[in-house]
């Protein structure tokens, strides 16, 4: 298991979700993805996408104008 990161700063909806979707499709189950965003909508949009596709949000926070999410990749439907 490894932790990966994704910089989705300065991207507006729906791009953070699309970038998360594309990156998770490349990762094996059990790995984690730490996502950094500046779009406050990502705090709701990315976890919603994770619920639909079977991935687990381990951490979500907003700090200093930035959203940080930690996602556990799980076996599930990784397609859009």
Report how far residue 37's alpha carbon sits from residue 68's, in angstroms, rounded to the nearest whole number. Answer: 6
With 90 as the cut, is the pLDDT of residue 77 above it?
no
Q: What is the pLDDT of residue 78?
A: 44
Closest CA to 6 of 20, 25, 26: 20
pLDDT digits (tens, 9 = 90+) for 3-14: 999 999 999 999
With 70 as the cut, is the pLDDT of residue 32 above it?
yes
Q: Does domain 3-72 have CATH number 3.30.110.40?
A: yes
Confidence of residue 76 (pLDDT cuts 50, 70, 90): low
Looking at per-residue pLDDT, the higher value among 73 and 80 belongs to 73
Q: Which positions are catalytic?
A: 13
Side by side, the strands of the sheet bearing 32-37 are: 3-8, 32-37, 66-72, 56-63
Q: What is the pLDDT of residue 73?
A: 98
């Amino acid at each position: 298991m490894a932790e990966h990161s994704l910089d989705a700063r300065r991207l507006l909806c729906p791009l953070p979700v699309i970038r998360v979707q594309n990156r998770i499709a490349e990762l094996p189950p059990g790995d984690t993805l730490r996502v950094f965003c500046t779009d406050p909508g990502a705090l709701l949009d990315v976890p919603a996408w994770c619920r639909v596709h079977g991935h687990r949000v381990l951490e979500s926070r907003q700090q200093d104008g930035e959203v940080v999410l930690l996602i556990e990749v799980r076996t599930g439907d990784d397609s859009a």
